[in-house]
Amino acid sequence: MQKLLLILSISFFSLSAFAQKSFNFQVQHTVPLGDFQENLMHRPTGIAFEYLFGPLKNNKNLQIGAGLSVSMYQNEDHIGSVDTGNAQNAYIETNEDDCFYTYQGVVRYYVTDADKFIRPYVQGQVGGATFFSSLSLIEDPEDIYEPQTRTHGTAFLAGFGGGLAVRLMEGFYVDASVTYNETSETNYRTSPESIPNALYRVDLSNNQNRSKVNHLAIKLGMNMLF
């Protein structure tokens, strides 16, 4: 993962010399597929950013750059008791977030020129997806547990798709897209319904699964050219 981030960083700075740039900010809804869908109780939602450069050489409709998204598929408060190991249970309240973020290099080709009202495009991307969880203690009278964050695993990601940019004014577009992402296998924390015992809420290594995390990313937001 560190090598991939280094490559993306070098590419990002080396591309800054291009005259035209675009910045995308979008709300993202993720549709899990296959085993990934079976293991999640909730659909991930989040935000996505893309920073693209172009035109490239003599092709004014081709852009390359980088993208980043963060999605959450569980955010729950839980009240229960856990075994302290001292022949008695402790009452605690916890909050858990289960999330993943993606990072990828992006190649985008617009079917029409920048001065058109509607600009369809196709897009390819390569990168990774990293899953993590965080746990905070709302109430822990015994001071038994500490807030924690755990990274579960990283999957290689390759995707393709397309979108549509509709111009509202010069240099400003409403942008909608759908991309399909094929991935390798990785570990991640599933999102079971709340259970009476809070034990799994204070041990982020529980409720682990491993599979491909193939998914559709549906995005809606704005695209600015500058």
pLDDT tens digits for range 187-210: 999 866 655 555 556 678 878 899
In the chain, DSSP finds a helix count (H) and a strand count (E) of 2, 10
So what's the pLDDT on residue 200? 55
Is the Cβ–Cβ distance between 95 and 76 less than 8 Å?
yes
- Number of structural domains, the chain? 1
DSSP 34-91: THHHHH-SS--EEEEEEEEEE-BTTBTTEEEEEEEEEEEEEEEEEEEEEE-SSSSEEE
The amino acid occupying position 22 is S
So what's the pLDDT on residue 15? 45
CA dist 213 to 38, 90, 113, 189, Å? 11, 36, 35, 12
pLDDT tens digits for range 208-218: 899 999 999 99
Instruction: Specify the higher pLDDT residue, 59 or 122.
Output: 122
pLDDT at 9 over 60: no
pTM check: above 0.85: no
Among the residue ranges 34-43, 177-186, 199-208, the one predicted with the least confidence is 199-208
pLDDT tens digits for range 73-84: 988 887 766 666
CATH (domain of 192): 2.40.160.20
- Residues of the domain holding 113: 2-225
